[in-house]
Homo-oligomer: A and B are copies of this chain.
Amino acid sequence: MVRYHKQTRILVAIDCIIFGFDGSELKLLLVQRGLEHEKGKWSLMGGFIQKDEDFVEGSARILNELTGLEGVYMEQLYAFGDVNRDPIERTVSVAYFALIDIHKYEKQLNEDYHAEWFPIKDTPKLIFDHQQMVDMAKEKLRYKAAFHPILFELLPEKFTLPQLQSLYEGIFDYQFDKRNFSRKLQSTKLLVKQKDKDKESSKKGAFYYKLDKRRYAANFHAFLNLIPNPGNLK
């Protein structure tokens, strides 16, 4: 086989930033590093890309090996290439981020794995440049969520408007007017009102909604103004 001579070949890793929502706050999934160096320290789900797998396959494999999770929505975030980002040996890392409903994957994510959810506002010190990755992922999530209906990936199939609003409020760290919020989200036509209510969090109960799957698929990339005052974003 013909090859490119005299070029440096480098380790290529994939690191996954997994965001989850438990109904009240945004969380981050971390594992304790198994490799020797920095063993036991908290880390993103990471691993090296293999000879015959592309990034999509690699990220799915790494996530599955470390957490047991499967079928999770993932999106490329950024490639990190600082020369000394891994002190052992130069490693380029392609970071992916994922959004999941914590409860949906509760059983998959069992004790066989040393993965643990941390509130996004209270995470432990991370190895390498993983904190930088998390910060960038948070920023991208906020940016994207302001204009695209992406946060539904964090919710269970059935959810209430108050739940949806507190998810948005958690992510944007801002209190929205519930009348305006409701009107805006309803105007996307993505929500289908159910006949039953969630009676957990109030006496009156809040009607469940489901996503209109067809419209959701069609509007996933569409531009919607989902939050007030987007001018504050960067």
Contact = CB atoms under 8 A, between A and B. Distances in A.
Interface stretch (A17-25, A51-59, A114-122): A51-59
Contact of A222 (B2, B10, B35, B231): B231
B1 A49 contact: no
Interface in A25-60: 35-37, 48-55, 58
Of residues A35, A54, A81, which shows the largest number of chain B Cβ atoms within 10 Å of its Cβ? A81
A52 to B, nearest CB: 6
Contact of A89 (B1, B89, B233): B1
B81 A94 contact: yes
Interface string A201-234: 0000000000000000000011110000011111
Interface in A167-206: none
A91 B51 CA distance: 11
Contacts of A78: 76
Nearest to A93: B79
Nearest to A50: B8
Given A12-B12, A223-B231, A4 B81 contact: no
A76 B92 CA distance: 14
Nearest to A35: B4
Contacts of A221: 234
Contacts of A4: 11, 35, 48, 88-89, 91
Nearest to A224: B231
B223 A3 contact: no
A49 B79 contact: no
A97 to B, nearest CB: 14
A44 to B, nearest CB: 16
Interface of A: 1-4, 7-12, 35-37, 48-55, 58, 76, 78-79, 81-83, 88-92, 94, 221-224, 230-234
Given A12-B92, A51-B90, 12 more contacts: A1-B89, A2-B36, A2-B37, A2-B89, A3-B89, A4-B89, A8-B51, A10-B11, A54-B83, A92-B92, A92-B94, A224-B231
